[in-house]
Amino acid sequence: MAATALDPDRLPQHIGIIMDGNGRWAQKRGLPRTAGHAAGAETFRTIAYRCRDLGIPYLTVYAFSTENWKRPMEEVSAIMGLLRKYLLEALEKMERDGFRIHFFGDLAPLPPELRELCLETQSAGQAVAGAKYQINVCLNYGGRDEILRAIRAWGKDCQAGRQDPETLDEEAFARYLDSRGLPDPDLVIRPSGELRLSNFLPWQSAYAELYFTDVLWPDFTPEVLDQALLAYQGRKRRFGGI
């Protein structure tokens, strides 16, 4: 059966991806888990360019969760090292490639050098004139932590008289989230066969279409992305209506 073509007018504007399965990919090959993370980072680059080439303006990727600190120190360090490498590359190329990079998550507990690099990358991106594509990297991100940080900031604003609990609505609250100002994800993709969200964008994904695939993240190709997009285009989004 010939694959149906993607409709360029009905692509999601914002895709979220839980980049999972790096460890199992490595294990299957008898390699250390860190080799899986290195392969997964390459996949991230490929998929980011594919989203850009399709004209999808927002891509949010889950790179490191608030729970991932439970892993062995060597694995955490290897992931941080990879982030450093790809951010340095992004700093160099984002202007040419038309990307902007943002971070979701609490950057405070990161190694200071990496945190500085994140902030530098983020502000360099803001300065890129006409960048049409934004990548949000979720780093030390947890949806519950994001909501708690938002509530703390909002509570302080209430104490200072800048906010009033009586007038808080969804739109006002969303301005305290890491995703402030951005559209909600239309499509959330999780590779690796796990059927859960693992604390990824719980507020923002309330009405996202979910797509799960058994493909492990390092094996995820532009063709797999196309399959997810085709599935998305076959869905009927109702948002509670009829």
What residues make contact with ligand IPE under the rule CB under 6 A? Answer: 18-24, 62-65, 68, 79, 192, 194, 196, 198
Least separation in angstroms between residue 139's CB and ligand IPE is 9
Least separation in angstroms between residue 20's CB and Mg ion is 4
Q: Which of the following is catalytic: 68, 97, 106, 145?
A: 68
- Partner in contact with 233, chosen from ligand IPE, Mg ion, none, beta carbon below 5 to 8 Å by kind: none
Contacts of 237 (CB under 8 A, 6+ apart): 207, 209
CB-CB contact of 120 with 92 (8 Å)? no
Strand partners, 61: 17, 137
Nearest CA-CA partner of 75 in 118, 34, 39:
34
Distance, in Å, from the CA atom of 98 to the CA atom of 47, rounded to the nearest integer, reads: 15
| Residue 64 or 99 having the CB closest to ligand IPE | 64
Least separation in angstroms between residue 40's CB and Mg ion is 10
CA distances 175 to 20, 147, 195, Å, are 29, 11, 29
| Residue 64 or 86 having the CB closest to ligand IPE | 64
Using Cβ positions, the residue closest to ligand IPE within the complex turns out to be 23
CB-CB contact of 106 with 148 (8 Å)? no
Q: Which of the following is catalytic: 7, 9, 20, 145?
A: 20
H or E segment to which residue 149 belongs: helix 143-159
**Contact flag: residue 20 with Mg ion (CB under 5 A):** yes
| Residue 19 or 150 having the CB closest to ligand IPE | 19
Least separation in angstroms between residue 50's CB and ligand IPE is 19
* Residue 20 annotated as catalytic: yes
CB-CB contact of 20 with 67 (8 Å)? no
**Contact flag: residue 209 with Mg ion (CB under 5 A):** no
Q: Tell me the residue length of the chain.
A: 242
| Residue 11 or 216 having the CB closest to ligand IPE | 216
* Residue 136 annotated as catalytic: no
Q: Cite the active site residues.
A: 20, 68
Footprint of Mg ion on this chain (CB under 5 A)?
Answer: 20
